[in-house]
Amino acid sequence: MTRRRWLPATGLGAVLAAASSLAAWAVADAQQEERETRVARAADAFADQVATTLERHVTEMELLATTSASPSELRRNATIRLAAVDELAAVAVATGRGDQLVVDTVVPSALGWLNPNDDLHRIDDLRAMLDRVRVDADATAGAPFRVDGEEYVLVGAPLTVGLGAPESDARAAVTGVVLGAVRADAILGPWSGQAALTAPNGLFIGDVHGDAIEMTIELRGRTWILRLEPGASGWPTAAVLVLVVGLALALAAAIVLHVQVVRRRVAEEQAESRSLQLERIADAGARLQQSLDLAELLPAFAVALAQDFDLDGVAVSLLDEDGALVEAFATGDAAGQSIDLPLRRGWRAVGVLSVRPGRTLDRSELTSVQALADLLAVAMSNAQLYEREQLSAARLRDLDALKNAFLGTVSHELRTSMTAIMGFGELLSDSWDTLDDTRRREMANRIRRSAGSLRHLVDDLLDFARLEQERLRVSPRTIDLAGIVRQTVDNLGPLLGRHQVDLRIPGALTAWADPVAVERILANLVSNAAKYSPEGSTVTIIAEPGVDVARLVVADEGPGIPAEERRRIFARFYRLDTPESVRTRGAGIGLAILRDFADRSGARVTVDDAPGGGARFTVDFPTEPVDVLAVAT
């Protein structure tokens, strides 16, 4: 991808670089000719300059030789000239003595072989030049030489008898020579490149390697050869400038183009990725609306999410009622680094969506996954609401069914008791004369029992209605529980007509309770004990003091109540599915009412097994006033 992005920029850069190279080459070519002409002109000018320099120094020696009247004046003048002319390294005076040419004076005192008393004639390299000066009486330049690596050119002028004598006599009477050592770099230095100057005697100063322009210099009738190297050619500055600017422009253009290309590509990729994310969100939204069943919804969502974003694993966890995270669904790999995204409902987190990416997710993908998590949270909330609605609809249906069953039971109860009362009543009145006392009493008892159970039922119904409407008032106060239990058991006599009653009550027992509530509680317990235990068995009723309570116990010898049902029997309309319950009549509200009375009195009701195997209900009444609500919860 990166290489593809660089392609256009590289192409443009290459084209511009090639163009600037061509332009630079053209400029260099055009400037080459001009340069050659310029170099030739400079070489001519330099040759003139070299000739002038040498000529100047020869003339200098002539002047010294002719203007000094005595050897001491010559020395003084030489010293002055040396100080004035920087290019002059030394001046020497030599006198001819026979074949010898002996150095008299050197200013400064010596320069290499130029030492006082040296015979210059013995130096081969100088002989030709010295002969010219001494024999021909010509001032001249020649004989390049080296001392300590320094190069010099020796120039000389003849000394004649009687310094300052007319020239015609001078030639005949040359007595010596005045020699000057001119520094070579004073002659060749000004040339920018390498240069060499060869004297007529073949000796030279300077050095040239490679191609050189060769020129001749005529000096006092003798030919010197000057060789000049044109200097570093290289590319002309203009061409280099064109090349450098061209390349810089090419680079700049390539960079600018690259930046543009990268920006455009990034923008394109972002737009592409955005539309892909939107598509995914839209798809997920549609998918989440397809079902309100969490069991269907979560797997479909998680699998599609894993596919869309190349995830190795997806897990959805929900907060339970205690605030703990419980995994609701998971798919794929559970190991590895995960990204946890909150499932939010409003400002509240209701769970976590954990994803394990198979590759690095970019920012927009992470934003999309969070958006999908939000959609999932909404969908889950809808599903949960729907589930709750379903539950409450089912509960309402159950309640409706319970109500119908209740009405049926109550009607049946009422009709049965009424039928019994009316039947025995009619029989009694129609056959009064034919019935003996025993039969009459028996029928009257039957009527009384039916009326009793009718009354019990009506009492229950009235209590129930009051409880439902929150109109039942319970006003606990300090009472004598033993007295109220004794009186109530008396009143319930007809209910217990077919059972043995074991009543264990102390003389007095203080409790904090509402007498009506105690009566209703006891009536319900005794009625059930009588109803669910076999005829002739014993119903035990105990009132006794407990620890901080006044205890009322009703135990029977019936089938008892299974441990797992002991909580549920206090619910409204709940009846056990036992043969005893099926055989007996009842609306399933007696214990619910009892529980309500107990709660409002601050009493606690428990049920367990009686020692004889039946059911044993225990009601603990407080002995002191209590906070009723606290006890009820």
586 near ligand ADP, rule: CB under 6 A: yes
621 near ligand ADP, rule: CB under 6 A: no
Instruction: Report the candidate in 497, 494, 498, 499 with the shortest Cα–Cα distance to residue 448.
Output: 494
Q: Please identify, using beta-carbon distances, which residue of 281 and 521 lies nearer to ligand ADP.
A: 521
Query: Looking only at residues 208 through 267 of this chain, which bind ligand ADP when binding is defined by CB under 6 A?
Result: none
**Residue whose CB is nearest to ligand ADP in the complex, by number:** 586
195 near ligand ADP, rule: CB under 6 A: no
What is the Cα–Cα distance from 578 to 597, expressed in whole angstroms? 26
Min separation Cβ 584 and ligand ADP, Å: 7
Q: Give the list of residues 6+ apart from residue 460 with CB closer than 8 angstroms, or none.
A: 524, 587, 589, 590, 593
Which listed residue (27, 203, 587, 605) binds ligand ADP by CB under 6 A? 587
Q: Please identify, using beta-carbon distances, which residue of 217 and 615 lies nearer to ligand ADP.
A: 615
Q: Give the list of residues 6+ apart from residue 113 with CB closer than 8 angstroms, or none.
A: 123, 145, 147
Which listed residue (203, 575, 597, 600) binds ligand ADP by CB under 6 A? 575
Instruction: Report the candidate in 304, 301, 317 with the shortest Cα–Cα distance to residue 352.
Output: 317
What is the Cα–Cα distance from 196 to 212, expressed in whole angstroms? 10
463 near ligand ADP, rule: CB under 6 A: no
Angle at Cα 86 formed by Cα 84 and Cα 91, nearest 5°? Answer: 80
Binding mask 588-607 for ligand ADP (x = CB under 6 A): xxxxx---------------
495 near ligand ADP, rule: CB under 6 A: no
Helices (H) and strands (E) in the chain, counts: 14, 20
Min separation Cβ 409 and ligand ADP, Å: 8
What's the one-letter identity of residue 260? Q
Question: How many chain residues bind ligand ADP (CB under 6 A)?
Answer: 22
Kindly report the three-state secondary structure assignment for every residue of 83-114.
HHCCCEEEEEEEEEECCEEEEEEEECCCECCE
| Cβ neighbours of 454 (radius 10 Å) | 17
What is the Cα–Cα distance from 596 to 263, expressed in whole angstroms? 77
Mark the segment that binds ligand ADP (CB under 6 A) among 7-15, 177-185, 346-354, 583-591.
583-591
Q: Are 402 and 573 in contact (CB under 8 A)?
A: yes
68 near ligand ADP, rule: CB under 6 A: no
Q: Please identify, using beta-carbon distances, which residue of 494 and 558 lies nearer to ligand ADP.
A: 558
Q: Are 114 and 90 in contact (CB under 8 A)?
A: yes
Instruction: Report the candidate in 610, 604, 472 with the shortest Cα–Cα distance to residue 528.
Output: 610
416 near ligand ADP, rule: CB under 6 A: no
156 near ligand ADP, rule: CB under 6 A: no
351 near ligand ADP, rule: CB under 6 A: no
Binding mask 541-570 for ligand ADP (x = CB under 6 A): ---------------x-xx-x-------x-
- 50: its two tokens: 């070299």
Query: Looking only at residues 502 through 541 of this chain, which bind ligand ADP when binding is defined by CB under 6 A?
Result: 524, 528-529, 532
Q: Please identify, using beta-carbon distances, which residue of 205 and 591 lies nearer to ligand ADP.
A: 591
Min separation Cβ 466 and ligand ADP, Å: 16
Which listed residue (62, 615, 621, 623) binds ligand ADP by CB under 6 A? 615
Q: Are 176 and 137 in contact (CB under 8 A)?
A: no
576 near ligand ADP, rule: CB under 6 A: yes
Q: Please identify, using beta-carbon distances, which residue of 281 and 569 lies nearer to ligand ADP.
A: 569
Mark the segment that binds ligand ADP (CB under 6 A) among 218-226, 246-254, 341-349, 572-580.
572-580
Q: Is the dihedral of CA 439, 423, 580, 455 positive or negative?
A: negative
Q: Are 498 and 504 in contact (CB under 8 A)?
A: no
Interface residues with ligand ADP (CB under 6 A) are 524, 528-529, 532, 556, 558-559, 561, 569, 574-576, 578, 581, 586-592, 615
